[in-house]
Structure 1
Amino acid sequence: MLTGKQKRFLRAQAHHLDPVFQIGKGGTNEHLFRHIEEAIEKRELMKVSILSNNLDDKKEVAAELAERTGSELVQILGNTITLYKESRDHKQIELPRN
């Protein structure tokens, strides 16, 4: 679980990032979860955007993405979800302590 200070740090780090994946009217599926899991292992921090033609609740989509990929939800801003997962092999981000 991330602390408030760590989330603020990660939001600042993610500010310049562009969304890597888009979720459209098809919604989420196993294929998407697998790709996000692979990408977040290499990047640690990434954004996913929800397109306007997706009618699902963005909070539910964000919670499902975080749960199914084993990552932490950093923030939901508009239709953009920011996720973080510490990488086992490609560690780049050093989180502040409490």
Structure 2
Amino acid sequence: MQRPATVTELAKVLKFLGNEQRLHILRSIAHEEKFAREISEEVGISRPLVNIYLKQFEKAGLVKGTNRVGEEPPYLKRYYGALPFELPVSLGLIEKLGDE
């Protein structure tokens, strides 16, 4: 995840991470890769919604997905793991950000 350069970018990141369900997903895959069904069952969110969030996380650079072939159906599974990031937010940072 790149550091936000503008107030608008910071607001988008904070809004994205300000969703409780998304934070539960990140916590679920913080130390162990899992596939969507496992995440869905663990956090109590529908699999289609988990898949949507995981794609958004990948696009934002917060999660990495890896396809793996197994011996049992479904043979191809996509495992997801959280990528380390840090987002320090302070008044000083907000003062330094551009307007876009």
Q: TM-score, normalized by length of structure 1?
A: 0.34
Identify, as 1 or 2, the structure richer in helix.
Answer: 2
Identify, as 1 or 2, the structure richer in strand.
Answer: 1
